[in-house]
A and B are shown apart, each in its own frame.
Chain A
């Protein structure tokens, strides 16, 4: 597709379970970002990939959160031992590195609900 694709669109899980959220960026976009958005708040930065490597993971809240991008395209955000406070919309965004504007292209998000 032409845009950033995220799956699943909705995920309901129980406290303590493991969750994986997938992001397929726009073809050719080397920069990939994960954000988390809680109700009534702006997106909160989690992690940034340039190619395969995590260039900045300073936004990950704790070691239960981990993300990978093994081939420099698709990325997976992994959350272990989920807690109710992890409930939010997880947004993925990509952009062309070195573009004249820093425009981020966001996906529709994965809504995570932890019961």
Chain B
């Protein structure tokens, strides 16, 4: 089963607004990866977080790894229609094997 829980399951956002999606685990995570999957598409890598408290930014996207390495968040500012899709977090394990969450499906209203 999936070890990481993502909330919310669905996120409806008005274009231009900010939102945050969360990834939580009951156990310490070795590392976290985030992927984006457009409707009808395949998952595409966004970022990997490894260190406790790590924060990484990609333009309007800010990724954070919790101090206890049990949670992560993705914050998007000034949402655009191109942000539509499902965002997955995935726990990285041995062999590079990933355990994905169920995802947050983002719908953007113009």
Show the binding face of A for B, using Cβ within 8 Å: 31, 33, 35, 40-45, 48, 50, 55-56, 91, 95, 97, 101-109
Taking a contact as CB atoms closer than 8 A, the residue among A31, A33, A97, A103 that contacts B33 in the complex is A103
| Per-position binary interface string of chain B over residues 15-51, scored 1 when its CB falls under 8 Å from any chain A CB and 0 otherwise | 0000000000000000101000000011111001000
Could you say which residues of chain A place their CB within 8 Å of the CB of B96? 31, 33, 48, 95, 97, 102, 104
Could you say which residues of chain B place their CB within 8 Å of the CB of A104? 33, 43, 45, 96, 98
Closest residue to A89 on the B side, CB-wise? Answer: B42
Given A31-B96, A33-B97, A103-B33 in contact, is the A42-B2 Cβ separation under 8 Å? yes
Could you say which residues of chain A place their CB within 8 Å of the CB of B45? 101, 103-105
Taking a contact as CB atoms closer than 8 A, the residue among A40, A97, A107 that contacts B102 in the complex is A40
- Give the docked Cα–Cα distance between A43 and B98 (Å): 9
Q: What are 5 A-B contacts defined by CB distance under 8 Å?
A: A31-B95, A42-B88, A102-B31, A104-B98, A105-B45
**Size bracket of the B interface:** 20 to 34
Structural contact, A44 and B42, CB atoms closer than 8 A: no
A32 to chain B, nearest CB (A): 10
B41 to chain A, nearest CB (A): 8
Could you say which residues of chain B place their CB within 8 Å of the CB of A33? 96-98
Structural contact, A43 and B44, CB atoms closer than 8 A: no
* Interchain residue pairs A-B with the least CB separation, the first 9: A42-B100, A103-B45, A106-B42, A102-B96, A101-B48, A43-B100, A106-B43, A42-B88, A102-B92
CB of B90 within 8 A of chain A? yes
Closest residue to A3 on the B side, CB-wise? Answer: B42
With A31-B95, A50-B95 known, 11 other A-B pairs at CB within 8 A are A41-B103, A42-B100, A43-B43, A43-B88, A55-B95, A101-B48, A102-B31, A102-B33, A104-B96, A106-B44, A108-B42
- Give the docked Cα–Cα distance between A48 and B103 (Å): 22
Could you say which residues of chain B place their CB within 8 Å of the CB of A103? 33, 45, 48
